[in-house]
Amino acid sequence: MLKIAVLVSGGGTNLQAIIDAVKNHKLTDVSIEVVVSNKEDAYALVRAADNGIASVCIRPKDYESKEAYGRYLATFLADHEIDLVVLAGFLVVLPENFVDAFAGKIINIHPSLIPSFCGDGFYGLKVHEAALARGVKITGATVHYVDKGCDTGPIILQKAVSVEEGDSPEILQKRVMEQAEWVILPRAIQMIADKSKLTG
C-alpha cells in the first residue's frame, strides 16, 4: 500500500479526483493518509473532512524560518510513514531541506505543458492567462517529480488540451482540469504505486 499525503492550498479539485479514483477502485493499493493545507480556509480541507480523511493546516508563517518549516513538515510526514507527497494545487515553494528529506518522493501537477508557462510566478489562472496571451493553440497539464528548482523536475506524464476560439482563462482552466489534470494525476500516482509494489 502506497501511503500518500496530499498538499493543497485552495479548492482541491485535484484532491477530489484522487479521492474519487480511490473510491471507484480506479486507483488501487493507494491510501490517502493525510491532507496538509497552508491555508486554514482552503475548501480542500472540507473535501478531506467530508471523506473522513485526516487533515491539518501547517502555515509557513508560523515558523521562524523556511528551514524550521521544512523540518517540521518533513518530521510530520515521516511520522505518518508517507511514501509519496502529492502537491495538488499547493502554492508554497517547498524549502530545500524538505525536498532533500523526501527526494524522489514528491510529485506536482502543473496546468501547462512544461517547459511552457511554468516556473516562478506561473500558477493557477496566471498560467492560462499567459497561454491565451501568447496565442497557443494547444496547452495541457504535466505531472512531474519535484526537485529544488521551480517546475524543473523529471516529467512523469503530460496530456494535451486544445485552446478554443473565445476561451477565457477560466474556461480554459476548467477544460485543462477536466480533460488533463484530473486524469493524469491519479494515473501518475498509480504508476508510482505499481512500481513500488514491484520493488517492494
Residue with Cβ nearer ligand GAR (105 or 128): 128
DSSP string, 35-54: EEESSTT-HHHHHHHHTT--
Does 95 interact with ligand GAR (rule: CB under 6 A)? no
103, 142 contact by CB (below 8 A): no
Q: Order of strands, edge to edge, in the sheet holding 55-57?
A: 55-57, 30-37, 2-8, 84-87, 106-110, 138-145, 155-162
Does 169 interact with ligand GAR (rule: CB under 6 A)? no
Does 33 interact with ligand GAR (rule: CB under 6 A)? no
Binding-site size, ligand GAR (CB under 6 A): 17
Strand pairing category for 106-110 and 84-87: parallel
Chain centroid, CA 124 distance in Å: 12
Residue with Cβ nearer ligand GAR (60 or 124): 124
Active site residue 128: no
- Among 70, 95, 111, 153, the residue binding ligand GAR under the rule CB under 6 A is 111
Stretch that binds ligand GAR, among 12-20, 98-106, 155-163, 187-195 (CB under 6 A): 12-20
Contacts with ligand GAR, residue ranges (CB under 6 A): 8, 10-14, 44, 88-89, 109-111, 123-124, 127, 177, 181
